[in-house]
Structure 1
Amino acid sequence: MPVLEQITIAPHLTFDALAAGAPGAPLVLLLHGFAESMNCWRAQVAALGDMGYRAIAPSQRGYSPGARPDSREFSHYLIDRLMDDAMAIVAESGYGDARFHLAGHDWGGSIAWGLADRHRERLASLTILSRPHPNAFNRALEMVDGDQAQRSRHHKAFLEPDAADVVLADDAKWLRDRLAANGVPVDAIEQHLAVLGNKEAMEAALAWYRARGAIRGPLGPIRVPTLYIWGDADDTVGRVAAEGTVDFIAAPYRFEVLPGVGHFAADQAPARVCELMLEHLAAHPV
């Protein structure tokens, strides 16, 4: 079973994390996205630990109370800092310069794509849920006759100064409705709200968007064995962006479509996600 640990990488940067498996076993680092928390990976952390891996899923910068710099200073939340956090968590967990497996969902997927581009020699495998390769996403966003811009319109709304109040109003109705509409179970929604359902955490989570703005930087081709999982009921990522990701992978690639599954696949279809991840990791050992 996953246990709650704390990982300190610097003064004032202590991350809460779900962990399972023996220290020193092949590492799998799992990065969550927005409107959720480390708890989205609970089933996967447990399954990976049971199969002989060391799985660590942190609540990332701003989500962990002990790693929450001033959200008014957006520079604290630049994606480079989020990537540096991930690599520092790996090092602090005892893996130094060792290779490891990386998984990311949504914003965690954006970070994971960036790490695969920057640190490909460190990664044995890459698993991405929902978030297309940034180049495929940008291409879909720019299509005049496409629907990706409409699907992603909330990104601009998150840049508004009152976004946290809107998302948390009426007992976080927007957040609850969003998660429920994507098939996230009630108990999982409560776990995410226990992390994210307060003004300080929400402002810090939204600072990720504000630090980046509306633009996603392009990356080079990914040269890490990649599993990309997309639910065809994902309301934020359309088929064009998802299917177009293959154009930017220069390594063994597996694209899995989950019929009827929405944006939060790890919560909605945990058994299938576990199965796919374990197959992928076994095929590309450290």
Structure 2
Amino acid sequence: MIEVKARGLTFDVHEGGPQDGDPVLLLHGFPQDSREFDLMVPRLHAAGLRTYALDQRGCSPGARPAEPAAYTMGSVTADAVAVLDALGVEKAHVVGHDWGAQVGWQLAARHPERVRTLTAISVPHPRALALALRLRTSQSARLAYFSVFRSPVAERLLLARHGMMLKAMLRPIGMRAEQYIAAMREPGRLTGGLNWYRAFNGDDVANLGVVNVPTTFVWSDKDPVIGRTAVLRTRDWVDADYQLVVMRGVSHWVPEQAPRELAEVVLARIGV
């Protein structure tokens, strides 16, 4: 692990693989951290890739602003760009899961010169998701947990009874959940993660445009969070080589439930 100073904060970045390998930026979601990619990075390294798994804002101990307003999509996307700058990486393959996928879409749409390819996992293009919400599909019900995570009592609810709610969320990944629940007891860690939800609003995605970099979207058919409408309409927002990969029998936590299969999808997108 190395510490990278960017935008007045200090980010933990876990690097690995051949020094001269093509760079891959790995962006985690909530309630996980960069460790969610641990099971798949050995395959990427074996293929000759250099990985940089970033503990994003709210997760890295040196990057936990207290106020929710510091966690807008503009801010967290700017973090990723600044970290690439600090690493001396001009252009990277981007792999993001959950909130990390949201950042990946932002990077690909707003900073295409920094993105070679995008593999977005579990979360579709934000404009496709917004359409699904407007059409009154099941998507609104699927995202009902947002209001809970944005509430002032969310921290207490999630850690009550030894993190029972977090354990229920992460049940598909088994004992791996314990490492994330333990980390949430660090000062400011859980609040930092929840501030992504508290800061999010429609303005973050209202003007997000079409992605012009080669893209793969990975969705799992047992994911309770994202419905088919948003999945199918994501194609409308990619004007480049595009592939939808559906993981059968897998829940939301693809990098840890199907790491080998996901690694192969990533390698196919990158072209190695």
For Structure 1 versus Structure 2, the TM-score category normalised by the shorter chain is over 0.9
Q: 2:210 aligns with which of 218, 221, 225?
A: 221
**Cα deviation, residue 199, structure 1:** 5.5
**Cα deviation, residue 213, structure 1:** 3.8
* Deviations 1:251-275 (CA, angstroms, capped at 9, x unpaired): 0001000111111100111110011
- Hey, what does 1:165 align to over in structure 2? 156
- In 1, Cα distance between the equivalents of 2:194 and 2:231? 24
- Hey, what does 1:77 align to over in structure 2? 71
Q: 1:233 aligns with which of 189, 197, 222?
A: 222
Contact 1:168-1:199 at 8 Å conserved across structures: no
- Hey, what does 2:127 align to over in structure 1? 135
Tell me, yes or no, if structure 1 residue 5 matches structure 2 residue 5: no
Contact 1:63-1:196 at 8 Å conserved across structures: no
- In 2, Cα distance between the equivalents of 1:17 and 1:162? 30
- In 2, Cα distance between the equivalents of 1:17 and 1:43? 17
Aligned-partner residue type, residue 272 of structure 1? E
Tell me, yes or no, if structure 1 residue 245 matches structure 2 residue 234: yes
Structure 2 residues without counterparts, runs of 5 or longer: none
RMSD between superposed Cα atoms in Å: 1.6
- In 2, Cα distance between the equivalents of 1:168 and 1:198? 12
**Post-superposition, which runs of at least 4 consecutive aligned residues in structure 1 deviate over 6 A?**
none
* Deviations 1:217-239 (CA, angstroms, capped at 9, x unpaired): 23211111001100000000011
Secondary structure of residue in 2 paired with 1:185: helix
Contact 1:18-1:42 at 8 Å conserved across structures: no
- Hey, what does 1:41 align to over in structure 2? 37
Aligned-partner residue type, residue 93 of structure 1? L
Between the aligned residues of both structures, percent identity stands at 35
Contact 1:38-1:58 at 8 Å conserved across structures: yes
Aligned-partner residue type, residue 269 of structure 1? A
Counterparts in 2 of 1:51-200, with a 5 A limit? 51-70=47-66, 73-95=67-89, 98-144=90-136, 146-180=137-171, 183-186=172-175, 188-198=176-186, 200=188
Aligned-partner residue type, residue 190 of structure 2? M
- Hey, what does 1:259 align to over in structure 2? 248
Contact 2:107-2:114 at 8 Å conserved across structures: no
Across the two proteins, how many residue pairs are aligned to each other? Answer: 271
**Cα deviation, residue 246, structure 1:** 0.8
Contact 2:221-2:250 at 8 Å conserved across structures: yes
**Cα deviation, residue 92, structure 1:** 1.4
Contact 1:155-1:214 at 8 Å conserved across structures: no
- In 1, Cα distance between the equivalents of 2:35 and 2:41? 9
- Hey, what does 1:201 align to over in structure 2? 189
Structure 1 residues without counterparts, runs of 5 or longer: none
User: TM (normalized to structure 1)?
Assistant: 0.90
Aligned-partner residue type, residue 202 of structure 1? L
Contact 1:44-1:270 at 8 Å conserved across structures: yes
- In 1, Cα distance between the equivalents of 2:187 and 2:139? 29
- Hey, what does 2:13 align to over in structure 1? 17
User: TM (normalized to structure 2)?
Assistant: 0.94
Aligned-partner residue type, residue 213 of structure 2? V
- Hey, what does 1:276 align to over in structure 2? 265
In the superposition, relative to structure 1, how do residues 222 and 214 fare at CA in structure 2: closer, same or farther (>3 Å)? closer
**Cα deviation, residue 193, structure 1:** 2.4
- In 1, Cα distance between the equivalents of 2:203 and 2:165? 24
Contact 1:156-1:214 at 8 Å conserved across structures: no
Secondary structure of residue in 2 paired with 1:102: strand
- In 2, Cα distance between the equivalents of 1:120 and 1:214? 22
Secondary structure of residue in 1 paired with 2:38: helix
Aligned-partner residue type, residue 131 of structure 2? R
